[in-house]
C-alpha cells in the first residue's frame, strides 16, 4: 500500500515540478534568470543551455546581464534570445549582453494570466490522472485478493488526500503567479 501511495505522490510531484518550469517561462515585469533556462546556443558544435556558457545576473530588478565565458559567443547568444520567442531584445555593450524586461501592458498581463491558468489546469489534470491510475491499481490488487475491501477504501482515501494536497499546491502556485503578474 505504501509503495502505491509513494509512487502516486512522486508522479503528482513531477506534475508540480512541470508547473514550476512552465510558470518560470511566463514572464512577469521583473527580471529572473530562469526566463532564459530554455535558451540553447551552439557552443562549439553542441547545443548547450545558455546558463552553462555564461553568467546570468539580475541588475536593478528590471534587466538581466549576461556575461559569456567566451566573448566570441555574444552574437550567437543574442540570436538565440531573439529566436526564443520570449519578447526580449538583447543589447550588447562591450563584453556584456543586457536584456531589459519591457513593462507589461494590461492586455499582456491578462494574456499571461490566461496562460498561467491553462498551465495550472494541465497540472491538475495530470494529478487527477495519477489518482485515477492509482485507484485502478488498488482495485486490481483488491480483485486479485492481495488486499481486502476495507484496505481498498483506506487506500482510496489516502490517494484522495494526496490528490487534494497537490491540487491545493497547484492553486497556491497559480495564486502567487497571478499576483506576480498583476503587480505593477
Give the residue extent of every domain in the chain.
Answer: 2-25+105-182, 33-100
Q: Which fold has domain 33-100?
A: Gyrase A; domain 2 (3.30.1360)
3-state secondary structure at position 39: coil
pLDDT mean over 163-184: 90
Highest mean pLDDT of the ranges 15-19, 42-46, 79-83, 99-103: 15-19
- What is the model's pLDDT at position 31? 76
Residue 1 pLDDT exceeds 80: no
In degrees, to the nearest 5, what angle opens at C-alpha 21 toward C-alphas 18 and 24? 150
- Percent of the chain topping pLDDT 90: 37
DSSP structural state of residue 165: H
Q: Which fold has domain 2-25+105-182?
A: Topoisomerase I; Chain A, domain 4 (1.10.132)
pLDDT mean over 114-121: 94
* Residue 128: C-alpha distances to residues 9, 83, 123 (Å): 12, 35, 9
pTM of this prediction? Answer: 0.74
Cβ atoms of residues 163 and 12 within 8 Å: yes
pLDDT mean over 72-90: 84
Beta bridge partners of 96: 93
Cβ atoms of residues 90 and 97 within 8 Å: yes
Residue 184 pLDDT exceeds 70: no
Cβ atoms of residues 125 and 117 within 8 Å: no
Find where cell 487527477 sits.
128
Amino acid at each position: 500500500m505504501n509503495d502505491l501511495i509513494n509512487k502516486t505522490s512522486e508522479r503528482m510531484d513531477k506534475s508540480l515540478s512541470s508547473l514550476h518550469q512552465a510558470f518560470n517561462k511566463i514572464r512577469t515585469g521583473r527580471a529572473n534568470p530562469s526566463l532564459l533556462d530554455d535558451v540553447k546556443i551552439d557552443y562549439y558544435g553542441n547545443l548547450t543551455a545558455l546558463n552553462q556558457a555564461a553568467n546570468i545576473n539580475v541588475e536593478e530588478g528590471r534587466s538581466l546581464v549576461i556575461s559569456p565565458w567566451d566573448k566570441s559567443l555574444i552574437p550567437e547568444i543574442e540570436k538565440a534570445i531573439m529566436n526564443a520567442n520570449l519578447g526580449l531584445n538583447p543589447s550588447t555593450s562591450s563584453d556584456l549582453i543586457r536584456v531589459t524586461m519591457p513593462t507589461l501592458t494590461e492586455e499582456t498581463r491578462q494574456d499571461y494570466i490566461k496562460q498561467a491558468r491553462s498551465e495550472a489546469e494541465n497540472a491538475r489534470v495530470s494529478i487527477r490522472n495519477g489518482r485515477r491510475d492509482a485507484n485502478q491499481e488498488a482495485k486490481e490488487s483488491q480483485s486479485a485478493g492481495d488486499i481486502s475491501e476495507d484496505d481498498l477504501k483506506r487506500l482510496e482515501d489516502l490517494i484522495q488526500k494526496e490528490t487534494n494536497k497537490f491540487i491545493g499546491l497547484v492553486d497556491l502556485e497559480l495564486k502567487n503567479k497571478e499576483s506576480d503578474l498583476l503587480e505593477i
